[in-house]
Amino acid sequence: MEARTVSVILFLIAGVYSKESHDEKLTKFPGCEKMKDFIGIPLSKCCESLPHMVDKELYKDCMESCKSKDDFVSKRCCMADCVLKAAKLLNETGYFDFEAAKTTLNEKVSNDEKWVEAIKESVETCKTEAPQKLEEWKKKDSPKCETAINMVAKHCILRQLFFKCPTKATSKECTDLEEFGQKCPLFPVPGKQGKKDDPACDKSKLVPNTYIENCCPTLPHFSDPEIFAGCAQHCAMWISNPDQPGAKKCCILNCTLHMADVLRKNETFVIDKMVKYYQKTVKPETSNVWFPIIRKVIINCRDIGMKYKEPAIEEMAPQCETTNITVALNITRCIRRELFFECKDKLMESENCQLLKGYGMDCMYWPWQCYRKKLFGGIEKHKNSAVQT
């Protein structure tokens, strides 16, 4: 792993914005050019018993405690150290504790003898490798975080554990994934694998036939269904990469945002336009309730910058052609999620709706689908038409 590899690992973990496209970044690293072909395959699909050092639940509290940091990088560095500290993986000086990592991982696998040796070898390898590679990088550039070694070590151990998995699957998909990972020093890309196996997101826990619209009929929404449906048809006809995971979703969002005229030329949100667009969908009798909530939620979600700042949500996003559209996709998801949690409609008090809200708060990937029944009318109207290019 070269020094610049460590730099990009930290870039991906710390989430620093870049004008460079995802593909352009990947092509700088031999072996990583086909990253998009493997994004979305959960590591647990190929190593079912793969242990993780940090429980996802720890991220929620850390997001709250780090939100007061002044700048983006400081907040993200704070998050990394916070979750590792909460997991008791830092020593008294605030740096990664490799022995604690070994103990934690053994506890996660209940000291299963099939894993004990793999854990020992992985931790020992990274105990030597992580500091060396970080020092190489420091000679060429300054780390974004004073404790950058913590993130490098965590990434290194997960990588080694996957390769040494004693229960690895032998399917072609998994064989190809491991072969790719061995060649690509960035693998596993933080936030890109393992997204579908969170127990909190088990869909069997959902209440049948209970949706966001059932519980909060006054919920403001981003796009007029007719605009959305038109963009969906446009993308079905003109999308250049239909087989790429998430490509259609990215195309539809890009089209919808431009049709709504809420983006700057660099594809970032104009907050005031975004606020007004949501406010237009609010009924007059509920405007006094929703208007202040809309502005607060949109600003908060913009500041979070979903793609980069919330690890769990980061995992579920398709990688769009430009970084800012990927960010926008997650911001719109964040807005819908947080508006629902703030909803004051009477129906929210029902048992089923409280269960849905509880599920959503536990599962950080939720909601998966931004629009449900509200779209049906618009899609029906436009099923025989297409947006002109």
Contact predicate 48/166, CB 8 Å: no
CA dist 387 and 379 (Å) reads: 12
CA dist 348 and 340 (Å) reads: 9
Domains and CATH numbers, the chain: 3-194 (1.10.238.270), 201-381 (1.10.238)
Sign of CA dihedral 73, 75, 80, 85: positive
Among 6-10, 21-25, 147-151, 298-302, where is mean pLDDT lowest? Answer: 6-10
Contact predicate 208/360, CB 8 Å: no
Give Cβ neighbours of residue 124 (< 8 Å, ≥ 6 apart). 98
| 20 pLDDT above the threshold of 50 | no
Scan for tokens 């029906």, then name that residue: 380
For 171-208, the pLDDT digits (tens) are 998 999 999 999 888 788 654 444 445 566 777 778 88
pLDDT of res. 295: 93
Among 199-203, 214-218, 251-255, 275-279, where is mean pLDDT lowest? Answer: 199-203
pLDDT of res. 319: 55
Q: Which two tokens stand for residue 362?
A: 């536990």
Q: Which helix (H) or strand (E) holds 222?
A: none
pLDDT of res. 202: 73
Q: How confident is the model at residue 22 (pLDDT cuts 50, 70, 90)?
A: very low
Q: How confident is the model at residue 342 (pLDDT cuts 50, 70, 90)?
A: very high
For 86-133, the pLDDT digits (tens) are 999 999 999 999 999 999 999 999 999 999 999 999 999 999 988 887
For 46-95, the pLDDT digits (tens) are 898 899 888 877 776 777 777 677 655 676 678 788 889 999 999 999 99
Coil, strand, or helix at residue 269? strand
Give Cβ neighbours of residue 170 (< 8 Å, ≥ 6 apart). none
**Environment class of 47 (CB within 10 Å of its CB; exposed 0-12, middle 13-18, buried 19+):** buried
pLDDT of res. 315: 45
pLDDT of res. 234: 74
Q: What separation in angstroms does the CA of 29 have from each of 10, 151, 370?
A: 15, 20, 35
Coil, strand, or helix at residue 250? helix
Coil, strand, or helix at residue 368? coil
Per-residue pLDDT averaged across 331-355, rounded?
A: 90
CA dist 112 and 27 (Å) reads: 39
Contact predicate 362/203, CB 8 Å: no
User: Above pLDDT 70, what percent of the chain?
Assistant: 68
For 219-271, the pLDDT digits (tens) are 998 766 777 777 877 777 656 555 555 677 778 877 888 787 887 777 677 88
pTM value is 0.51
